[in-house]
Amino acid sequence: MKKPVVLVGIGEMGGVFARGFLRLGHPVYPVTRDQDLALAAREIPDAEAVLIAVGEKDLPGVLERLPDAWHDRIVLLQNELLPADFAHLPRVTVISVWFEKKPGMDYKVIIPSPCFGPKSALIRDALGHLDIPVRILNSEDELLFELVVKNLYILTTNIAGLKTGGTVGELWAEHQDIARKVANDVIDLQESLTGKTFDREALVSAMLHAFEGDPEHKCTGRSAPARLERALDHASEQDLELPTLAQLASEMH
pLDDT band at 112 (very low <50, low <70, confident <90, very high): very high
As a whole number, the mean pLDDT across the chain is 95
Domain boundaries, the chain: 5-138, 141-252
- Three-class DSSP category at 52: strand
Average pLDDT for 22-35: 92
- Three-class DSSP category at 51: strand
CA gap 100, 13 in Å, rounded: 8
CA gap 161, 179 in Å, rounded: 9
Average pLDDT for 215-234: 94
pLDDT of residue 104: 87
pLDDT of residue 231: 96
pLDDT of residue 34: 77
pLDDT band at 102 (very low <50, low <70, confident <90, very high): confident
pLDDT of residue 32: 86
User: Are 130 and 19 contacting, i.e. CB atoms less than 8 angstroms apart?
Assistant: yes
pLDDT tens-digit series, residues 123-166: 999 999 999 999 999 999 999 999 999 999 999 999 999 999 99
CA gap 120, 99 in Å, rounded: 17
- Percentage with pLDDT > 70 across the chain: 100
- Percentage with pLDDT > 90 across the chain: 90
Fold of 141-252: N-(1-d-carboxylethyl)-l-norvaline Dehydrogenase; domain 2 (1.10.1040)
pLDDT of residue 208: 98
pLDDT of residue 221: 85
Distances (CA, A) of 226 to 43, 110, 250: 37, 23, 14
CA gap 196, 82 in Å, rounded: 12
CA gap 243, 103 in Å, rounded: 36
- Three-class DSSP category at 204: helix
pLDDT tens-digit series, residues 186-217: 999 999 999 999 999 999 999 999 999 999 99
pLDDT tens-digit series, residues 165-185: 999 999 999 999 999 999 999
With 80 as the cut, is the pLDDT of residue 119 above it? yes
**Is CATH 3.40.50.720 what the domain over 5-138 is classified as, yes or no?**
yes
pLDDT tens-digit series, residues 65-80: 999 999 999 999 999 9
